[in-house]
Amino acid sequence: MTDAYTRFIRSTPGGLLAKQLGLPRPSRLLRREDRPEPVLGPVVVLGASAGADRIAHLLLDQGADVRRRFDELRSVGSVVLVADELEAPADLGSLVLPLAGAMRTLAPGARVVTISRPASTEEASRAAARGGVEGFLRSLAHEMRGGATANGILVRDGVELDAPAVLGALRFFLSSRSAFVTGQFLTVSSTDGSASENATLPLAGRTALVTGAARGIGAAIARTLAADGAQLVVLDVPGAGTELSRLANELRAVPIQLDVTSAGAGERLVAFLRERGLSLDAVVLNAGITRDKLLANMTADRWDPVLAVNITSQIALTDALLEAGDVLGEQVRVVSLASTSGIAGNRGQTNYAASKAGVMAFVDALAARLAPLGGTANAVAPGFIETEMTAKIPALTREVARRANSLQQGGLPVDVAEAISFLASTEAGGIRGETLRVCGQNMVGR
């Protein structure tokens, strides 16, 4: 689903014209079908701490080609900077400057990942050094070229670097599955979670519900979860019944036609699951709508449905599932769809932005509720994604939105789906209440 401008720019005459005029030249992003190997090598692990040694050995155990220096490497696939023992801002230079001299050796689609501790208020110099990692990484992501990305993992004090969620997040960021994720951080707050027994089918043996599954991003989520081994329950409104049945047949999924805003929708879902003897290990709350208008022209018939579908239904469904007590697995993963509009706002979307900001606050609160049960709740916030909905945006606005990120292009529905699949896995158990942006490092928001 490549836009016309990008297709032209990737041709020989288009590329030459773009270079002469200084126009955006978006690189082709390598996704799972293009680069199936889990890690693009060789991988250079930088850092002098025991944690750096541990990360190097973990990657070796995964079959990666691991080096500790750039010496004599003409091409570098991945770089991991382990900064878990920084004590002062002056410590940053010796860690990051070896990468400075090797930036031109990074291969197309390369990955750079930092592993560090979040800043705290206990000691000023240490806090400043830790905060410096975040500024460095976000700026580096703007400088990456050739479809390469840079992301970070923040590991809370007291959590060892070999915790399941640290290794899981590292694998996700190093893989082609994070093609449209750059300039982002995930925080690992606990040692909870467990490695998948099947690396190629990380969701094997798990049952997942996807709402709003009939088309667009929802259908991509369902297909990706199925490809990762999950058994699916796919849900959408009765009006999308034909598309829903077609998808269910394709994926051998269990379909349910249900309006998530209707009275008693949660109780009907619980009854449906009980009738079929199903227990959910993952709940993906994707159903959403837009009704855009400037606030001066906003009316209740545009405001109320957006809040009802995008956030109120999520609260009602999860309340019903939790209160039932017998339809959720022991390590349930709830993943909700937020939006960069909920982070930075967007003209004409006060209703939509309010609902999506509510989603991010909701998963933070829900994560605390699920933690004693071994569960998690997180959100994924897409930026500009090439869908039927964004294709209806006026052409000039659409073109600006595509280019307003570090990767200079729109993402695909599968990019959102890949992030959700990771957060739905058992190894993501130490990640709670997070919102991961899948936006190519959109220029607005944090």
Of the listed 5, 173, 352, 384, which one is catalytic?
A: 352
Copy the structure tokens of residue 198. 């099947």
Token pair 């680069």 is found at 35
Nearest by Cα to 54 from 92, 97, 84, 94: 84
Copy the structure tokens of residue 410. 């729109």
Spatial distance between the Cα atoms of 163 and 165, rounded to a whole number of angstroms: 6
Contact 342, 287 (CB under 8 A): no
Spatial distance between the Cα atoms of 151 and 165, rounded to a whole number of angstroms: 15
Token pair 């959100």 is found at 379
Q: Is 352 a catalytic residue?
A: yes
Spatial distance between the Cα atoms of 117 and 131, rounded to a whole number of angstroms: 9
Q: Is 301 helix (H, G, I), strand (E, B) or coil?
A: helix
Per 3-state DSSP, the chain is made up of helix, strand and coil in percentages (nearest 5) of 45, 20, 40
Q: Is 117 helix (H, G, I), strand (E, B) or coil?
A: coil
What is the arrangement of strands in the sheet containing 254-257, beginning at the earlier edge strand? 254-257, 231-236, 207-211, 280-285, 328-337, 376-382, 435-438
Phi/psi of residue 208, nearest 5 degrees = -125, 140
Total residues found in the chain within this entry: 446
Copy the structure tokens of residue 173. 């960021």
> What one-character-per-residue DSSP string does 166-177 give?
HHHHHHHHHSGG
Spatial distance between the Cα atoms of 418 and 425, rounded to a whole number of angstroms: 11
Contact 327, 278 (CB under 8 A): yes
Nearest 5°: the CA angle 79, 58, 160 is 95
Whether the ω angle into residue 164 lies within 30 degrees of 0, i.e. cis, is: no
Nearest by Cα to 1 from 216, 183, 244, 248: 216
For 40, how many CA atoms within 13 A lie in the half-sphere containing its CB?
A: 28
Copy the structure tokens of residue 435. 């919102």
Q: Just list the catalytic residues.
A: 352
